[in-house]
Amino acid sequence: MAEADAWLEELSYENCMGLLRHGVVGRIAVVVDQFPVVLPVNYRLVETSGPTWIAIRTRPGNVLDRASMQVALEIDGIDSAHQQGWSVLVRGTLHHVDPDAADFRERFNPEPWMTTERDAWLVIEPFSITGRQLHAAAPEWAFHPAGYL
């Protein structure tokens, strides 16, 4: 069975923001001791009338709390059965935040799944938000073999 090629689509900024709004888990990439480290995090997109940020909570003194200022955050969705998916990449600057300033804690809590000792609040100030979507190859024959198994 011949298939048309899979294809890659660049996502619009609006689509990327929509995916970030609905997500809660991503992976943050930081540089520690001159080597990259990638860690899973809970996050919340913070949209105000001014800048957009991504809020993260972590343990004081841990890898993220000590990380360099230049970071990247990625979220994605993968459908391995159909060989398709999407990803959004946020690149930006990491800042420490006082969670009690301007009701930040109440309005923008990323609600980490592990709340114990997550008292260091950080935000990513993005300078780039991009995304891509991989569309599955389209089979030339409309029937899928799985329908007969």
Distances (CA, A) of 126 to 42, 56, 58: 17, 13, 19
Identity at 46, one-letter amino acid code: V
Distances (CA, A) of 65 to 47, 106, 119, 124: 23, 21, 10, 12
Residue 144 covered by a domain: no
Predicted pLDDT of residue 107: 65
Residue 136 covered by a domain: no
* Residue 7's pLDDT band (cuts 50, 70, 90): confident
Residue 99 covered by a domain: yes
Q: Residue 75 sits in a domain of what CATH number?
A: 2.30.110.10
Domain that holds residue 63: 7-131
Residue 116 near residue 92 (C-beta atoms within 8 A): no
Task: Quote the pTM value.
Answer: 0.80
pLDDT, tens only, 32-73: 888 899 999 989 998 888 889 998 988 888 888 788 899 999
Number of domains in the chain: 1
Residue 146 covered by a domain: no
Residue 22 covered by a domain: yes
Cα angle 65, 29, 52; round to 5: 75
Residue 87 covered by a domain: yes
Predicted pLDDT of residue 127: 96
